[in-house]
Chains A and B, each alone.
Chain A
Amino acid sequence: DIQMTQSPSSLSASVGDRVTIPCRASQTIASYVNWYQQRPGKPPKVLIYAASNLQSGVPSRFSGSGSGTDFTLTISNLQPEDFATYYCQQTYNTPHTFGQGTKLEIK
């Protein structure tokens, strides 16, 4: 199975900051990475699919990059509603594993 590693498990930032959230795959997976945001008590919501494609309706301050084994979710100009947990997921092959999540907290 492909392991997805998200480190750090949490990070602190302030409104207006630019943050990057990394994710590393245990083997090369081309662009088969998706990013989800989850707020407490809610289901996840897709932000980025296929590494860099912005899901319709998602603000343009979210962007994704990377290929192979290293991927990044970038949030520019953080807004209060962006403080949540972010998960990467690989769909290169099954099982479609998720990372352990990065919790973005207010500094």
Chain B
Amino acid sequence: QVTLKESGPVLVKPTETLTLTCTVSGFSLTTARTGVSWIRQPPGKALEWLAHVFWDDEKSYTTSLKTRLTISKDTSRSQVVLRLTNMDPVDTATYYCARLLIYDKGGYYLPYFDSWGQGTLVTVSS
């Protein structure tokens, strides 16, 4: 059974750095054609994709937060870590991690999220 669980602080102060950990089970972070993504959702608003890391350590970040985000993985611990620097109240959101699978459609590779963590609400306030 595939599970993902987010952990980290529930409250951070403005200008601080947020560090979130996604601990996975039921699959390996080195399995080909898999990855882990981070997505966030401000209260009452839409989903926002933040970053992903693939099995081969390929990484990508959302354009608007590229200078503030870092994603990394520790395969021995089955963990993916997201760091977001210089936190602001607008970064208040539920942060989710999700497993990214790649569907092979005749040589075309189409990614999608098949499993999600329950999410962790992070509030930015002084």
The chain A residues found within 8 Å of chain B, CB to CB, are 1, 30-32, 34, 36, 38, 43-46, 49-50, 53, 55, 87, 89, 91, 94-101
| With known contacts A43-B96, A50-B105, A91-B111, A96–B116 Cβ distance under 8 A | no
| B side interface size, CB within 8 A | 25
Shortest Cβ gap from A59 to chain B (Å):
17
Docked pose: A45 CA to B113 CA in angstroms = 8
Q: Interface SS of chain A: helix, strand, loop or mixed? A: loop
Does B27 lie at the interface of the complex (its beta carbon under 8 Å from any beta carbon of A)? no
Docked pose: A101 CA to B52 CA in angstroms = 22
B34-59 interface (Cβ within 8 A of A): 37, 39, 46-49, 52
| With known contacts A94-B52, A96-B52, A44–B116 Cβ distance under 8 A | yes
Q: Does A46 contact B112, Cβ atoms closer than 8 Å?
A: yes
Q: Does A97 contact B110, Cβ atoms closer than 8 Å?
A: no
Shortest Cβ gap from A79 to chain B (Å):
22
Q: Interface SS of chain B: helix, strand, loop or mixed? A: strand
8 CB < 8 A contacts A-B: A36-B47, A43-B98, A49-B110, A95-B60, A95-B62, A97-B49, A100-B46, A101-B47
Picked from A43, A49, A55, the residue with its CB within 8 Å of the CB of B117 is: A43
Scoring A32, A43, A49 by chain B CB atoms within 10 A of each residue's CB, the highest score goes to A43
B82-112 interface (Cβ within 8 A of A): 96, 98, 103, 105, 108, 110-112
**Of all chain A residues, which has the CB nearest B66?**
A95
| With known contacts A50-B112, A91-B110, A96–B49 Cβ distance under 8 A | yes
Q: Does A87 contact B46, Cβ atoms closer than 8 Å?
A: yes
Q: Does A43 contact B48, Cβ atoms closer than 8 Å?
A: no
| With known contacts A43-B116, A44-B116, A99–B46 Cβ distance under 8 A | yes
Does B114 lie at the interface of the complex (its beta carbon under 8 Å from any beta carbon of A)? yes
Q: Does A94 contact B46, Cβ atoms closer than 8 Å?
A: no
Q: Does A95 contact B117, Cβ atoms closer than 8 Å?
A: no
B-chain residues with CB within 8 Å of residue A99 when the two chains form the complex: 46
A-chain residues with CB within 8 Å of residue B118 when the two chains form the complex: 43
B-chain residues with CB within 8 Å of residue A95 when the two chains form the complex: 49, 60-63
Q: Does B49 contact A55, Cβ atoms closer than 8 Å?
A: no
**Of all chain A residues, which has the CB nearest B112?**
A49
